[in-house]
Structure 1
Amino acid sequence: MPPLALSMITLGIIMGTLMVTSSNHLLTAWLGLELNMISIVPVIAKQKHLRSTEAATKYFLTQAAASALMLFSSTLNAWQTGSWDITQLNETSSSLMIPALAMKMGAAPAHFWLPEVLQGSTITTTLLITTWQKIAPITLLYMMPNHTQSNIMLLMGTLSILIGGWGGINQTQLRKMMAYSSIAHLGWTITAMSISPNIALLNIVIYMTMSTPFFLMLESTSSKTLQTVTTCWSHSPTTTTTLTLLLLSMAGLPPLTGFTPKLLILDSLVTHKLTSMATMMALLSLLSLTFYLRTTFLLTSTAPPTTNQSMMLWRLKPHHSQAMATLTPIALFNITMLPAMLM
């Protein structure tokens, strides 16, 4: 891609997100989302392959439908209340805005586009879609008066955890598996958004912190399937060990970082007398734990004394990102921050 085009696309993605996060006006937020969407479509379609073209088309159509629903909700709210402020949404407009933002993020039941789009994109683009592209919709969801639609949020969050865990069990493609992992983590975020928005914000930040070094390591080892990930130990045992810890952290096992937001969300649910909901979410998270542990087993199955016949040195990319080295310790062992978060 030419440097000028890359600079314009990068500027559009950044400016679109910043426009949404710094605006209270619904039309300005909608304009920022449109700018964000138009900027990332060429990034998805830059590969000269039919899968990337298909992924870009699916992403564009889905995001356009979500934008139309969001614009209809905004217009309806302005017609009924005379206000374009996102914090002044009435119950009807809020009921339409939440599904629109869920479709933007890829949360269930509007999750159908996310696995296919990620499978047709590069790993770097997959990282961008699962992290940066979720900032703007989650910010709008954070600003909305969600207490009036808590039942919708809880139902959508539980359904996302179920589908995210169930859909990822039979996946052999790492990008599709991480797509369902993203759906499951969005379920935890949406559930917490209606009862404790600050904990929901903490959850999505920690997820982005964990997934960024994971995708960067997949990019450095050129691993795209469960079969190719088994050869990582041959040329980089440190990377394999870190990938294993990151997977266990995303699964939510203590004392790793991923355990922190899940514990806070379950505690908040029990505090609000939603013990049955907390129990159901904890049980459904075992589905996600299944494919996390399966991938962890495949990563460690080739460790000594087991020998691997294929070295696959041609897959190694010697240059590692500084962001990967910086975020990995934070993504693994910030459980020591838990007492400060609870105060």
Structure 2
Amino acid sequence: MFLTFNSNKMFFMFILFFSTLVSISSNSWFGCWIGLEINLLSFIPLISNSNNILSSEASLKYFLVQSIASINLLFFIIFKMILMKNFEMNNFISIMINSSLLMKMGSVPFHFWFPNIVEGLSWFNNFILMSWQKITPIILLSYYFNNNLLIIIIIMNSIIGAIGGLNQTSLRKLMAFSSINNLSWMLFSMMISENLWIMYMFMYMFMISILCFLFYLMNMFFINQLYFINMNYMIKLSLLINLLSLGGLPPFIGFFPKWIIINFLLMNNFFFMTFILILMSLIILYYYIRILYSSFMFNYLKLKWMKIFIKNKIIYFINLLSMISISGMILSTFFYL
């Protein structure tokens, strides 16, 4: 039974990756839409679990939201083909196609499904939803985006992603709002350059994979578990480095792509947008540091008997990956030179 489950899971993961390749290599909108549908139908079996009510509910919500977005996308693709010569409708069609793709990636103002679905998923499925599932919609958005709409969406993503995480006690919801905030930087990097977006995406996937792996190892889902459990300080140090890197604090590698985007914004006189993006990043760093400070300083003796045993080899491997995050300042220095 265990082997069957694993083989089925590997099969659906292969289809998931294959569907992304179908979408981004297609030369027509219908091919892109088919790739998105294959992606949806392969991700549903990965997140659904008959033994867990939250997972079943999350898979149903995900299916409904993605189906609505796909129907809208298909409708306006056909609408675009019919009214190809009508230039007056082009602006409206581009806004509606962009809205469908933004709904698929969980962007503001279509983000309400995202934190709710994240709450019902395992850490591995969360990692896929917050990283791989954003690749196809962003690439399709880069083919046909409305510049004015996207700038408004970037500002809204930055603000909602920062403020939404302030009152959260769930680590999964916290990561979801952090993902919404990072989406604003991703969208702007996509507008600047495809290479910059690829670099930002890979760095984001690297940082979030370490955090999801750490939370999975320690079986943590809420902030108060970081205070109570008597965990290894090396794991806490890795958590510190990767959370601050994800927030974009300068010595770490997460700051490097953000620094390039800030440079571009300042060179092109986008001072208001630069101010908003930096201010919201500071708010995110505030609640990251609040969590980390409490987890380092609190010593809850009542639950001292609760101890997590993790093999030393795994701890060393996580620390090695975390040390890569510190190389951000070196990269920034060479880039400046």
TM exceeds 0.5?
A: yes
CA–CA separation in structure 2 for the residues paired with 1:332 and 1:177: 23
Paired residues in the alignment total 330
Instruction: Name the structure 1 match of 2:25.
Output: 22
Matched residue type, 1:55: A
Q: Which of 4, 10, 24 is matched with 2:13 structurally?
A: 10
Instruction: Name the structure 1 match of 2:259.
Output: 263
Instruction: Name the structure 2 match of 1:241.
Output: 237
Q: The residue matched to 2:169 in structure 1 has which SS?
A: coil
CA contact (8 A) 1:260 1:338 kept: yes
Q: Does 1:138 align with 2:138?
A: yes
1:325/1:32 CA distance change after superposition, 3 Å = farther
- Bigger mean CA offset, 4-13 vs 168-177: 4-13
Instruction: Name the structure 2 match of 1:86.
Output: none
Sequence identity percentage: 28
Instruction: Name the structure 2 match of 1:103.
Output: 103
Summarize the alignment of residues 204-219 of structure 1 with structure 2, pairs less than 5 Å apart. 204-219=201-216
Q: The residue matched to 1:235 in structure 2 has which SS?
A: coil
Matched residue type, 1:282: I
1:330/1:70 CA distance change after superposition, 3 Å = farther
Q: Please list the CA deviations of residues 41-93 of structure 1 after superposition, one character each: whole Å capped at 9, or x if unmatched.
A: 122112512211111111111111111111122212222338xxxxxx95343
Instruction: Name the structure 1 match of 2:124.
Output: 124
In the TM superposition, residue 327 of structure 1 has moved relative to its aligned partner by 4.4
Matched residue type, 1:289: L
Q: Does 1:150 align with 2:158?
A: no
Summarize the alignment of residues 33-112 of structure 1 with structure 2, pairs less than 5 Å apart. 33-46=36-49, 48-81=51-84, 90-112=90-112
CA contact (8 A) 2:231 2:307 kept: no
CA–CA separation in structure 2 for the residues paired with 1:6 and 1:205: 24
Unaligned runs of 5+ in 1: 83-88
Matched residue type, 1:123: W
Q: Does 1:224 align with 2:221?
A: yes
Q: Please list the CA deviations of residues 96-131 of structure 1 after superposition, one character each: whole Å capped at 9, or x if unmatched.
A: 221111111111111111111110111111111111
In the TM superposition, residue 8 of structure 1 has moved relative to its aligned partner by 2.5
Instruction: Name the structure 2 match of 1:288.
Output: 284
CA–CA separation in structure 1 for the residues paired with 2:50 and 2:286: 33
CA–CA separation in structure 2 for the residues paired with 1:324 and 1:99: 38
In the TM superposition, residue 7 of structure 1 has moved relative to its aligned partner by 3.0
In the TM superposition, residue 314 of structure 1 has moved relative to its aligned partner by 5.7
Q: Please list the CA deviations of residues 139-167 of structure 1 after superposition, one character each: whole Å capped at 9, or x if unmatched.
A: 2123x144xx2211111011011111111
CA–CA separation in structure 2 for the residues paired with 1:151 and 1:341: 30
Q: Does 1:310 align with 2:286?
A: no
CA–CA separation in structure 1 for the residues paired with 2:237 and 2:151: 36
Instruction: Name the structure 1 match of 2:35.
Output: 32
Matched residue type, 2:197: A
1:341/1:98 CA distance change after superposition, 3 Å = farther
Summarize the alignment of residues 179-218 of structure 1 with structure 2, pairs less than 5 Å apart. 179-218=176-215
CA contact (8 A) 1:105 1:137 kept: yes
Instruction: Name the structure 2 match of 1:174.
Output: 171
In the TM superposition, residue 342 of structure 1 has moved relative to its aligned partner by 6.1
In the TM superposition, residue 217 of structure 1 has moved relative to its aligned partner by 0.6
Q: The residue matched to 1:81 in structure 2 has which SS?
A: coil
Unaligned runs of 5+ in 2: none
Q: Please list the CA deviations of residues 9-54 of structure 1 after superposition, one character each: whole Å capped at 9, or x if unmatched.
A: 1222111112122223211111111111111112211251221111
In the TM superposition, residue 339 of structure 1 has moved relative to its aligned partner by 5.2
CA contact (8 A) 1:156 1:191 kept: no
Matched residue type, 1:48: N
Matched residue type, 1:333: S
CA–CA separation in structure 1 for the residues paired with 2:159 and 2:181: 7
CA RMSD after TM alignment: 2.5
CA contact (8 A) 1:123 1:215 kept: yes
